[in-house]
Structure 1
Amino acid sequence: MTTHDSTTLLFRNTMRIAVGHLEGFRDAISKAVAFAEQHGPQLMVETFVDEERMLAHSFQLYQDSDAVRLHWKLADPYIQEVMKHCQVERFEVFGTPDADVVAGVRSALSEQCTLTFSPRIAGFVRFATGHHA
């Protein structure tokens, strides 16, 4: 998987956690990630919290734009629950999604945050089979 035309997409979502909402955010994120692990199309989901700055960083790896669409369809209630506790501060798309996914991301985030798209140059993925952290 070292070609320029890979369909792989990596999303990085930086969220500002609302004051007093850290525990609610942790609970909502844990439920959302557990759901994604069981039912979602993501190849990888990792979420990290910087409590000192009240920021959370979520990374999601998708095989392609179809997987992103499936995630949106399945996870909407979980996304809404998480968003009760935070606001998206920055959303970064790495890779080249199709026009439909670009429009969906732009529509969902409107003008509330910094949104960037960075096309892929090269890379590879190496996951151990059957390993769960």
Structure 2
Amino acid sequence: MTAHSDTNTILLFHNTMRITDGHLESFRDAVVRAVEFVRQHGPQLLVETFVDTERMLAHSFQLYRDSDAVRTHWKLADPYIREVMEHCRVERFDVFGEPDAEVAESLRSGIGRECPVTFHPRVTGFVRFATESRA
């Protein structure tokens, strides 16, 4: 049985970041600004960020419709990404789904210079969203 074409291109990114000592509040402020910008202007279907203050790790999840949406996000959000990165470093980056060759290479050559980038091919699934998103 083949997966539905609308979900074949879905990409879920899980970014694990180490927050710099003494930067927790600045990191939080930068992430809030970045996510608010993306909520209003970005192509993501979902963005959620969680912070483990005991380990000083942050976990960001971003769901994209396809590789084109990833490219759009990179163009729009670059200043916000740079601001967040002033307060952390990426420890691990997991890609769930199969981006096109250009996005995959950009991830390997960009983030992959700093940390492991792991690709996990999709088997099956679905996406269900409520009509009203929460803040």
TM-score, L = length of structure 1:
0.95
Tell me which residue corresponds to 1:44.
46
Q: CA deviation at 1:129?
A: 1.3
Q: Which residue of 2 aligns with 1:3?
A: 3
TM-fit CA distance, 1:132: 2.2
State the AA in 1 paired with 2:3.
T
**Correspondence 1:24-39 to 2 at 5 A:** 24-39=26-41
Q: Which runs of 5+ in 1 are unaligned?
A: none
Tell me how far 1:116 sits from its aligned partner: 0.1
1:90 is paired with a residue of what secondary structure?
A: strand
Aligned residue-pair number:
132
Shift >3 Å, 4+ stretches: none
Match of 2:91 among 60, 84, 89: 89
**Rounded Cα–Cα distance in structure 2 between residues aligned with 1:128 and 1:58:** 21
What pairs up with 1:1-133 in 2 under 5 angstroms?
Answer: 3=3, 6-133=8-135
Q: Structure 1 74/4 Cα, relative in aligned 2: closer, same or farther at 3 Å?
A: same
Other structure's SS at 2:110 match = helix
State, as a whole percentage, how many aligned pairs show the same letter.
Answer: 69
Shift of 1:108: 1.6
Cα-to-partner distance string for 1:103-127 (whole Å, 9 max, x where unaligned): 1111221321111000000000011
Q: Distance in 2 between matches of 1:55 and 1:3?
A: 34
In structure 2, the gaps of 5 or more residues are none
Normalised by the length of structure 2, the TM-score is 0.94
